[in-house]
């Protein structure tokens, strides 16, 4: 589990503003806390509260966490799906160009752009919240 220790700065209308504790990243050994995956330095992030998060109060310590499989799945959705859309759009544009009588380069480029934009819109609609906030007492 990728985790970062944070302080609750503010709670307002179902959202919490968190400030990351410097050097509190854990869960991987690749960057020794130098990545920006779970905030950088003392960065602040606003997150939506859920049932468990409702136990949080201002000035409490909490853990911002993400499961590694969630990171992989969201990366595939965010990067893989647009790549597939680009390739499928290009192939479809090329195959449609000859029977219709369009220049193959033009139709391939237009269809590749259309496939990329369509798949980007699908990936954005299906993206999930990847970070979860847990009160510090539930992690001990």
- Averaged over successive runs of 10 residues, the pLDDT of the chain (140 residues) comes to 80 79 59 53 70 70 78 84 96 92 92 95 76 62
pLDDT attached to residue 26:
55
Which tokens hold the place of 44? Answer: 């602040």
Query: Which of 88, 94, 84, 91 shows the shortest CA–CA distance to 120?
Result: 84
pLDDT attached to residue 140:
46
pLDDT attached to residue 54:
58
pLDDT attached to residue 4:
77
Contacts of 123 (CB under 8 A, 6+ apart): 77, 78, 81, 82
What is the spatial distance between Cα 94 and Cα 107, in angstroms, rounded to a whole number? 6
What is the spatial distance between Cα 73 and Cα 51, in angstroms, rounded to a whole number? 24
Q: Which residue has the tokens 């499928």?
A: 88
∠70-85-89 over CA atoms, to 5°?
Answer: 175
This prediction has a pTM of 0.60
Strand ranges for the chain from DSSP E:
2-12, 15-26, 44-48, 61-66, 132-135
pLDDT attached to residue 65:
77
What is the spatial distance between Cα 66 and Cα 38, in angstroms, rounded to a whole number? 8
What is the spatial distance between Cα 98 and Cα 1, in angstroms, rounded to a whole number? 51
């Amino acid at each position: 589990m990728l985790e970062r220790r944070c302080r609750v700065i503010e709670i307002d209308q179902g959202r919490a503003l968190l400030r990351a504790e410097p050097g509190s990243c854990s869960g991987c050994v690749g960057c020794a806390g130098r990545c920006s995956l779970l905030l950088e330095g003392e960065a602040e992030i606003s997150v939506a509260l859920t049932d468990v998060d409702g136990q949080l109060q201002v000035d409490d310590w909490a853990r911002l966490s993400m499961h590694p499989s969630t990171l992989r799945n969201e990366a595939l959705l965010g990067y893989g799906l647009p790549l597939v859309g680009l390739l499928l759009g290009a192939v479809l544009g090329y195959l449609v160009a000859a029977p219709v009588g369009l220049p193959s380069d033009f139709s391939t480029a237009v269809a590749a752009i259309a496939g990329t934009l369509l798949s980007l819109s699908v990936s954005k609609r299906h993206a999930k919240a990847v970070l979860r906030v847990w009160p510090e007492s539930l992690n001990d």
